[in-house]
Amino acid sequence: MEFALSPETVLKLWSGLFVGEEKRVGTRTVLVGHRTFSETEAYVPQKFCSNRIVSSKYTIWNFLPKNLFEQFRRIANFYFLIIFLVQVIVDTPTSPVTSGLPLFFVITVTAIKQGYEDWLRHRADKEVNKGNVFVIEGSKLVKKECETIKVGDIVEVSSDETFPCDLIFLASNTKDGSCYVTTASLDGESNVKTHYTVQDTSHLCTCQAIGCLTATIECEQPQPDLYRFVGRINIYNDNQEPIARALGPENLLLKGATLKNTPKIYGVAVYTGMETKMALNYQGKSQKRSAVEKSINAFLIVYLCILVGKAIICTALKYTWQSVPYNNEPWYNQRTQKDKETFKLLKMFTDFLSFMVLFNFIIPVSMYVTVEMQKFLGSFFISWDKEMYDKTRDEGALVNTSDLNEELGQVEYVFSDKTGTLTENTMEFIECSIDGFKYSHAFSEVDGGTFKKAAQSQEQLFMRALCLCHTVQVQESDKVDSGKSNIDVSCNYVAASPDEIALLQGAQKYGFTFLGQENNFMKVQNPNKQIERYELLNVLDFDCVRRRMSVLVKAQDRKLYLFCKGADSAIFPRVPVAEAEKTKIHVERNALDGYRTLCVAFKEISPADYVKINSRIKEATMALQDREAKMAKVFDEIETDMHLIGSTAVEDKLQDMAAETIEALHKAGMKIWVLTGDKLETAQATCYACRLFQTSTELLQLTTKMVGEDDRKEDRLHELLVDYHKKLVVDMPPGKRTWLLSQEYGLVIDGATLSLILNPSQDSRSGHYKSIFLQICLKCTAVLCCRMAPLQKAQIVRMVKNSKGSPITLAVGDGANDVSMILEAHVGIGIKGKEGRQAARNSDYAIPKFKDLKRLLLAHGHLYYVRIAHLVQYFFYKNLCFIFPQFLYQFFCGFSQQPLYDAAYLTMFNICFTSLPIVAYSLLEQHVHIDTLMAFPKLYLNVSDNAMLQLKPFLYWTFLGLFDGCVFFFGTYFLFQDASIQDNGKTAGNWTFGTMVFTVLVFTVTLKLALDTRYWTWMNHFVIWGSLIFYVFFSFFWGGIIWPFLKQQRMYHIFAQLLSSASSWLAMFCLIFVSLLPEILALVFRNMKRKIKQSDSLELPMLVSYKPLENGFTSEIGVAADGFPKHCHLRLLQMQRI
């Protein structure tokens, strides 16, 4: 039933219905079970979307126009469409089929691929939308299709079923009103998460009870953050004030998640269909473009200029040649009256378009399809690489985007997280400090003697704090198969952070065991095997800004305590200085040893104070607008005037082969930056352990300790920046990678100093801090940034990415706090770690371990770049060889726009005759064996800086194409000038001439690729020799030999007559040999040189790259363990196989 109410009446009504006075902007109100909460008051229903999921892009009606529109947005496709239309409209020398058929082929293949992918999405959508669900209607279970669920429906979900939409958890049949959920399909996390029902609805665990619930839910509008939710539920009882309870992420069950280890739950739908968080997260990320793609566009512009230049030259020369009356109107070709009356400028423009059409094949439209195919198929080799397969997790590398394969071979800067990326994120409790005394083992075994120990009450208070200040859940081991750490035979600890499990394990070593939580009471077993029960009053959750968490508990003696744990920088300012000083010594020593440290504090709260505190917490948690800011402010005010109990030290072991990986990447010319939120000493110790910093590395520090925190901190920062700038920039010799040969410098900076640099005050001198800082960083071999917020990580990556030269950046991390820098970098790598799968889900590539980064870059990245760079250069080369004889032919046919090649040859050159060999090469070629690339990281330098697609290699391939084109044309021209090839003495016609040129062209460009191939497989042999055989077969077929019904067309018997002449055979062999002579001579020369060289030299195959000497063109490589030669000289134009 609908009522027409004014906006003022609605606002007045809402203000009386819900607790809180803040504005309701951007919120929605949901009636639970569609039950109205009052018969006398009106409710204005809101419109919500259906639960139908639509991930598909097209429908059967809009597929054709929408797909064509998207494809013709590409400049190459649009260009060929214009050429095709010109051929249709204007009288051009070639048939529209010659450009229309290749374009049709490209468009069709792409449309079929995209259509098939969309059909798969349609099928998946149908499976989801037509799935069966159970909805409570009139206190009864009703079976419905998933797509019919509406916002407000109460849904029943059983164990191992996925949630059909985003639900607010109302009730379950467990004692404590909780349920267990896995979110692997959302964020990749396989561990079991605990969700909680609203306390006032937890007892409604039957259809009849939940169907009688009268409540409303007010929550924020849909947004994609999986880990954020703000709302509140208002429960109405008969003739009583409504009960308001806050709702957070722990109460929200997300669509796509799976219910585990819980028989059934009831929830009310709040977000449906395309408004669920899962659907909102499937929206595409910003498109990243590789350096190769940019080079292709640049080459395309050059060749477009060449095309236009050819057309202008031929048009101008045509009218120059026709200025002679005899040439303009010979006796055998009289002009019509219409031609004589045609406006001359219009005729010139038409001729210009005709020449553009004649030469348009210089632009390789099929290259785009080949590149897409190479990227898509090539990405499977990364997923199939057994060396990057992790047996413990039963998973390998994952490619989320194939557009950046070649970019893996161009990385200059690597930005890495520390915890979980360089380290295992497997925490082990090492020791603790209580009241200034160190404890490494049991309470009876204290370092420094048995008398130097804290009071027993402090020891027990510290251990109780560890057992209570956390969010860990205990589950029976036979019910959970999530691989968590076993505490005893009967239970497992389940936590979002492995640190918390390690601390509970440490407390257990000292006799205190956390037994779990039941009915809001936390149970702790003390050393006397007695069970202590603490009522959990409030949890002040951890966040990366506060860097601490707290709990408010009530002990059995009715005393109220606040226990707080967090980083030393977050705890020390909130405790007495004397207490902080006693513990600070242990914290700093543990940090130097590379341990992760936490400080533990407490304070006792009076009942009167708690009433005020609880009221403020409730008010903040009930807020719908700016809830996080209000809660942070309240938490900050509560966590004051505490007393420090002690600190903990937890070891996070270094990942296997992490040090060797960093060392290899450094040798490959990459600069490694570590961006972490850990404290300076811990991060620095880890950097030394993983060889990011060597003992010879001179460290330059820009930290709060060096700068200070008083009013003169900016002055001291300026002095340090100027000093470091002079040492690294002014006094350093020029060169891009001089740091590889000179003194190594490392920079250490913390988040506070970085904020000072990136966000300086308004005085005039601080404006250029960022520029000086960037110059210093770029001259350092390694940089460590500690105490970093996630946003600062992204700022660092953006700063380097946008610096001079636009270096290629790579970011690698394993946690949600690394997502921002992963998305910011050119290439984002996610580690499938223990901090969830947010990083892997948002990355371009996901790998199991950090050590796999070495193989991904040095082997796959190197090979992918060489393959696709050769593909691009080869395509432009063969098309230039193809069309340049056509250009030369115009000088001998009076610029009449006469085609040199038959239309069938024009159409099939790129589609059939020369396409497959380069595809096979671009997928399978290994110019250097993978083991060699891994053993000698410096080989990566030979292809860095986009070396194979620079101007000099481009000019080399261009002049090679021009040379071969001249050989094809003039060699055939001089052969046919005075010779006859037919038995009756007739000389060859223009189609015989063109067929001869085309035959030499096809064989030459194919054999050129065969000479470039270093890694032969059966597939290479099949496509190379098969393509040549197919060309011969097709030429016989098209000439009417195999298929006599074609004898009426102009190519009848042309190819057969050409091959019947011995002079033609001799000419073809000679021309092919002359065209390939430069490559053959280079091979012979290098083979002779290899035999003369000493046995300790290692020659590598050619990478057509021209590297400046300062970029490490020639490098020395030491003896490998398996006996590789000592010196490795990377020389220009080496083609020799190892």
SS3 (DSSP) at 984: coil
417 is catalytic: yes
Q: Quote the distance between the C-alpha of residue 119 and its chain's center.
A: 25
SS3 (DSSP) at 558: coil
User: What's the burial of 72, exposed, middle or buried (CB within 10 Å: 0-12/13-18/19+)?
Assistant: middle
Task: Judge whether 303 and 875 are in contact, CB under 8 Å.
Answer: no
**Cα separation of 862 and 1076, whole Å?**
27
Pick from 252, 257, 216, 214: nearest CA to 233: 216
Residue 811 neighbours by CB distance under 10 Å: 32
Q: How large is the greatest C-alpha to C-alpha distance in the chain, in angstroms?
A: 123
Residue 221 neighbours by CB distance under 10 Å: 10
Task: Judge whether 432 and 647 are in contact, CB under 8 Å.
Answer: yes
Residue 451 phi, psi dihedral angles, 5° rounding: -85, -20
Please tell me what DSSP assigns to residue 594.
T
Please, where are the H alpha helices in 735-861?
Answer: 751-758, 769-779, 790-801, 819-824, 838-842, 852-855
Task: Judge whether 637 and 655 are in contact, CB under 8 Å.
Answer: no
Given the residues 417, 652, 678, 814, the one annotated as active site: 417
Pick from 286, 782, 196: nearest CA to 536: 196
Which residues lie below 8 Å from residue 245, measured CB to CB, with a gap of 6+?
198, 199, 200, 232, 233, 235
**Cα separation of 63 and 115, whole Å?**
8
C-alpha atoms less than 13 angstroms from C-alpha of 342 in its C-beta half-sphere: 14
Q: What Å distances lie between residue 710 and 418, 523, 538, CA to CA?
A: 30, 47, 37
Which residues lie below 8 Å from residue 1120, measured CB to CB, with a gap of 6+?
935, 936
- Helix and strand numbers (H, E) in the chain are 37, 35
SS3 (DSSP) at 869: helix
Give the 3-state secondary structure percentages of the chain, helix then strand then coil, rounded to 5. 50, 20, 35
SS3 (DSSP) at 575: coil
Q: Token digits for 180? A: 């267990």
Task: Judge whether 211 and 139 are in contact, CB under 8 Å.
Answer: yes
Gyration radius of the chain over CA positions: 37
Task: Judge whether 1126 and 1094 are in contact, CB under 8 Å.
Answer: no
Q: Quote the distance between the C-alpha of residue 926 and its chain's center.
A: 25
> In sequence order, what DSSP letters do the residues of 578-589 get, joined into one string?
HHHHHHHHHHHH
Residue 190 phi, psi dihedral angles, 5° rounding: -90, -10
SS3 (DSSP) at 813: strand
Residues identified as active-site: 417
